[in-house]
Amino acid sequence: MPSQTPTRAALDQTLDVETPELVVMSYTLAGVGSRAYAAIIDYMICLVAFIGLFVLMGALRVSGYLTAGSSTSFAIAILVLGQFFVIWGYYVLFEGLADGQTPGKKNMGLRVVRDGGYSVGFGASAVRNLVRIVDMQPVISYGAGLTALVFSKSGKRLGDMVAGTIVVKESLIRQPVRSSMGPRDTPVAKATDQPPTETLLTDDEFGVLARFIERRSALSAERRTALATQVARRFAAALEGVEGGSDSARLVRLHDREAGARQRGAISLGSRGAAREKHAIVAGGSPRWTRFAATLAAAQQSGLKSLGEEGVRNFVAEYRDVAGDLARLRTAARGAVSDEVFYLSRMVSGAHNLLYRGRSLTLRAVIRGMFLDAPREVRRSVRPIMIAAVMMFLPAIIAYVAVVRRPSVAPMFIPRGMLDRANDGVRRAREGEGYISDPGLFRPVMATSIISNNVQVTFAAFALGITAGVGTTTILVSNGVSLGGVSGLYASKGIGSLLLAFVAPHGVLELTAICIAGGGGLLLAAALLIPGARTRRRALIENGARAIRLVGASTMLLLVAGTIEGFISPIEWWPLEGKLAVSGVTAVFMMLYLRAGRRAPRQEVDAEPDVAAPVDLLALTASRAT
């Protein structure tokens, strides 16, 4: 299990993880403040982008490129899609394609990584950011999301828990080992002053002495003299033979001698076993660590590829050496807080994240995910999808029967606007009009608005599964009651065919998509309520990876359904038979889509889905040796 440790070097929360090289390293967790600053930067970028869309459309309108009619309709449709992208696509795409960094996070030196330090990947990015819809809700769910972030030992919000991700700092500490352990005005031991093989003070005693040296300049002369006398009395044995006059001067010289001894690798007084090597490891490794820190900083700035083939080989070899130093130093420190351990952990974690980043997202991978992996997951998850269907269609049937038998109950759960539309529907049916007026030139606007709204509903049905299924169930039941109640209302007025002619072309895809997304939400709920032999953490990560594929399949169906609903469903002159024919075609399309990749072997989901393919360290170092 990861352990949380405050370090003396930075007083930050850190998370210890074990690398594939069996070395324990520490990530510095991003604090609430730095994450908030990053979020503000990202929000401002989103706001500017959204305003930019309006300005661009206005400029095109003024310049005459957009005229009344179809061009205006398409412009509004682009604005609708732009708004949807800004709200949902910004975070998902930046974190998925920029290896866990939005512009705000990059500016603050933050990065989203997978548990274990692996690259976040597009799937994990989608999971953590779609669950953001829960954090965005007022009162109850917002409070739950904030509570999770504040009280989580790893600083995880709800999305991070489902995706198995953490937000970490990536800034480097430039100088881990000071040339002198004292302040700048403290004299440093000369290189010719050869220290003994063993120091005169233990590490704890040297820490006390170092704190006195650091604070003495801030003390009054009287207080400094009194405190120096007390410290000198404590270290009387070590001060024997140390010249310098006053107690303060002798302590400075003792400190200088002890610091020099440690820098050259002397054994600390009283140390045993591996602890005797601590200062020797630091003394021998410091030059190498400094060189590696410079190379790492360059690679973090310009990417690993900027080092060139030979540079990458050298980087990998140096990474292995530094990781080895970290392992030895941890053993020597025996769990004690150490600036050097803290520094090496920062370097190893930064290099680890570079080496174990995932492959770039390719068009082939996107097509495979949407047209092969997503349909396979739908077939695999047929049970939760069927449960979701029951949750929606059973209330729909009950509501339908209730309204048909007693129309007076309709106002109890059907909005006033739908009641007025049904009353007007009697006239529309008599005059041969459709369920709604054909938007004509504004069909693109209608289509994009419908797609955006429906996709967000499915996002919510998935994400609210983190509420132990309460939110998902509420969405499914409420949609079912609305569907059944409105259908019953139209049937009770004898105009059911008017509603059917509108719903039939897109209804098969749309209703199926909601059930599929609801199945994804129930997978999250199952991970919390019935994880089985798995821990809830492991179950959430595994089921979250499965559920996001269901959301992908649902989105694909809704793209087609929304297009049909915007362009075909409102056509008033199409007969009911023609609309039902379109419905049949969509059903065939859906069956073919959901059967895609049927013959390919199913891959089991492990605890760390979509783990990035790491750099082959052994192969690289072997080729370097040859």
Instruction: Give tens-digit pLDDT for 112-154.
Output: 888 877 778 888 889 999 988 887 655 454 555 666 666 677 7
Give the type of residue at 35: R
**Burial tier of 52 (Cβ tally within 10 Å: 0-12, 13-18, 19+):** exposed
Q: Rounded CA gap, 562 and 584, in Å?
A: 16
pLDDT band at 622 (very low <50, low <70, confident <90, very high): very low
Q: Are residues 460 and 564 in the same domain?
A: yes
The percent of residues above 70 in pLDDT, for the chain, comes to 76
Whose CA is closest to 125, among 148, 154, 93, 87? 93
For residue 277, the model assigns a pLDDT of: 64
Q: Are residues 165 and 179 in the same domain?
A: no
Mean per-residue pLDDT, 417-426: 89
Q: Which residue has the higher pLDDT, 49 or 61?
A: 49
Q: At what angle do helices 416-430 and 470-492 cross, to 10 degrees?
A: 30
pLDDT band at 28 (very low <50, low <70, confident <90, very high): confident
Residue recorded with tokens 């990417």? 303
Mean per-residue pLDDT, 364-369: 84
Q: Is residue 507 part of a domain?
A: yes
On the question of pLDDT at 337 being above 90, the answer is no
Q: Are residues 491 and 377 in the same domain?
A: yes
For residue 183, the model assigns a pLDDT of: 40
Structural domains counted in the chain: 4
Of 171, 202, 230, which residue is a domain's last? 171
Q: Is residue 420 part of a domain?
A: no
Q: Is residue 620 part of a domain?
A: no
Query: Which three-class secondary structure state does DSSP give residue 15?
Result: strand
Q: Is residue 8 part of a domain?
A: no
Region for residue 261 given its phi and psi (left: phi exceeds 0; alpha: psi -120 to 50; beta: otherwise): alpha
For residue 409, the model assigns a pLDDT of: 92
Q: Is residue 618 part of a domain?
A: no
Q: What is the separation of C-alpha 213 from the centre of its chain, rounded to a whole number of angstroms?
A: 44
Q: Is residue 421 part of a domain?
A: no
For the stretch 267-305, pLDDT in tens is 665 555 445 566 677 777 778 888 888 888 888 777 788
Q: Are residues 213 and 136 in the same domain?
A: no
On the question of pLDDT at 8 being above 50, the answer is no
Query: Which three-class secondary structure state does DSSP give residue 267?
Result: strand
Q: Rounded CA gap, 580 and 573, in Å?
A: 14
Q: Are residues 66 and 102 in the same domain?
A: yes
On the question of pLDDT at 392 being above 80, the answer is yes
On the question of pLDDT at 75 being above 50, the answer is yes
Whose CA is closest to 176, among 16, 287, 306, 339? 339
Q: Rounded CA gap, 203 and 207, in Å?
A: 6
Q: Are residues 339 and 485 in the same domain?
A: no
Containing structural domain, residue 234: 175-270
Q: Are residues 120 and 164 in the same domain?
A: yes
Q: Are residues 199 and 241 in the same domain?
A: yes
Residue 566 near residue 446 (C-beta atoms within 8 A) = yes
Q: Are residues 288 and 206 in the same domain?
A: no
For residue 448, the model assigns a pLDDT of: 83
Q: Rounded CA gap, 241 and 101, in Å?
A: 58
For residue 178, the model assigns a pLDDT of: 44
Whose CA is closest to 505, among 459, 555, 447? 447
Q: Is residue 7 part of a domain?
A: no
On the question of pLDDT at 557 being above 50, the answer is yes
Give the type of residue at 547: A
Q: What is the dihedral of CA 191, 193, 198, 201, to 10 degrees?
A: -100
Residue 93 near residue 123 (C-beta atoms within 8 A) = no
**Burial tier of 309 (Cβ tally within 10 Å: 0-12, 13-18, 19+):** exposed
pLDDT band at 431 (very low <50, low <70, confident <90, very high): confident
Of 270, 294, 311, which residue is a domain's last? 270
Of 171, 205, 222, which residue is a domain's last? 171
For residue 279, the model assigns a pLDDT of: 65
The number of beta carbons lying within 10 Å of the beta carbon of residue 605 is 17
Mean per-residue pLDDT, 85-101: 86
For the stretch 230-264, pLDDT in tens is 887 887 777 776 776 787 787 887 777 777 766 66
Q: Are residues 306 and 213 in the same domain?
A: no
Q: Are residues 251 and 317 in the same domain?
A: no
Q: Are residues 220 and 158 in the same domain?
A: no
Q: Is residue 473 part of a domain?
A: yes
Q: Rounded CA gap, 606 and 585, in Å?
A: 37
Q: Rounded CA gap, 611 and 603, in Å?
A: 14
For 418-445, b/e burial (b = at least 16 CB within 10 A) is beebbeebeebbeeebbbbeeeeebbbb
- The set of residues, in sequence order, having a beta carbon less than 8 Å from that of 186 and lying 6+ positions away, is 180, 213, 252, 255, 256
On the question of pLDDT at 340 being above 60, the answer is yes
**Burial tier of 262 (Cβ tally within 10 Å: 0-12, 13-18, 19+):** buried
